[in-house]
Amino acid sequence: MSTSLINGASATVIPISDRAFQYGDGVFETLRIVNGRATLWEQHRRRLLAGCRFLQIAVDEISLAQEFQQLLAGNAPNGIAKILISRGSGGRGYQPPAQEAPQRILQFHPWPDNLDLPAGQGIRARLCKHPLSRNPALTRYKHLCRLDQVIASAELNGDIREGVMQIDSGQVIEGTRSNLFLVVEGRLTTPALTEAGIHGVMREYLLQQFASAGVTVDERAVTVSELQNAQELFFCNSVFGVWPVTELELGKQVVRYTIGPRALEAGSYVEDAFHKQN
């Protein structure tokens, strides 16, 4: 069963006046809970607080940390936790209020079996039609305005587990709920997030792990036609970890990939993050 806390108290509703509801005025994080502990907690915490600072939302960090422990203590050992910080109610239309009362909304969802892939099995994916919004000022923050991802997700279905999103110039950026890596001409590559997209926690973690292992990752603009010639393609996020792609629909064309050494290496780093570091 899913449970929720608002500012530490069990709750299921928020006021209509809440600015997250009215304007998407806030930030969030989604974390994988393994054996009662949050994977990559420090990285999630850092991004959440950076977003609050950017938006000038004065979140109470100490209460947040306590309430997060309270959430984990009161739920199953494995699942998904979501932290949502809203600016709260008030203000004149878009303009934030002088006296803010930010809301800390913490939710726990039991682990959904369908996120774990059978060993060695990849997924089918699709190039989405809906373009990502471009705004270089926002790529470091996981804010609540996620309509692009909702629209693109509606292009998927049970069989097509993830989608590749591009900006309207045809540059490939990320998945609908993940970042992506590919191997092009033998080089591990990930789209640069200077124009659009979100700097994902798992992406940053994998970049660090590959760097520590002496593997160079090219961060640069990636085109759709490079997807056609790639040797490997995989998505990553901090909940499902790494999903290698075995089939990608590009319009009427289907591109096939094998699950290669870089995806396997990324998968082993993810296992470390999920288990050994706990």
Catalytic residues, by residue number, are 30, 142, 174
- Which residue is listed with tokens 């998945």? 175
- The helix-helix angle for 261-271 and 201-212 (nearest 10°) equals 110
- Which residue is listed with tokens 């590009």? 250
Amino acid in position 277: Q
Regarding 224 and contact with a second copy (CB under 8 A), the answer is no
Q: 90 exposed, middle or buried (CB, 10 Å; 0-12, 13-18, 19+)?
A: middle
CA-closest candidate to residue 60, choices 4, 123, 6, 136: 6
| Minimum CB–partner distance for residue 73 and a second copy (Å) | 20
- The helix-helix angle for 201-212 and 41-55 (nearest 10°) equals 130
From the list 11-19, 184-192, 241-249, 266-274, the region that binds a second copy by CB under 8 A is: 11-19
Regarding 216 and contact with a second copy (CB under 8 A), the answer is no
Regarding 58 and contact with a second copy (CB under 8 A), the answer is no
Among 8, 36, 90, 96, binds a second copy (CB under 8 A): 96
Q: Tell me the three state secondary structure of residue 20.
A: helix
Regarding 171 and contact with a second copy (CB under 8 A), the answer is no
- Kindly report the number of other CB atoms within 10 A of residue 218's CB atom: 13
From the list 138-146, 185-193, 245-253, 269-277, the region that binds a second copy by CB under 8 A is: 138-146
Regarding 124 and contact with a second copy (CB under 8 A), the answer is no
From the list 34-42, 69-77, 146-154, 259-267, the region that binds a second copy by CB under 8 A is: 146-154
| Minimum CB–partner distance for residue 57 and a second copy (Å) | 10
| Residues making contact with a second copy (CB under 8 A) | 4, 6, 11-25, 28, 55-56, 84, 86-87, 92-96, 105, 107, 112, 130-138, 143-154, 156, 168, 176-177
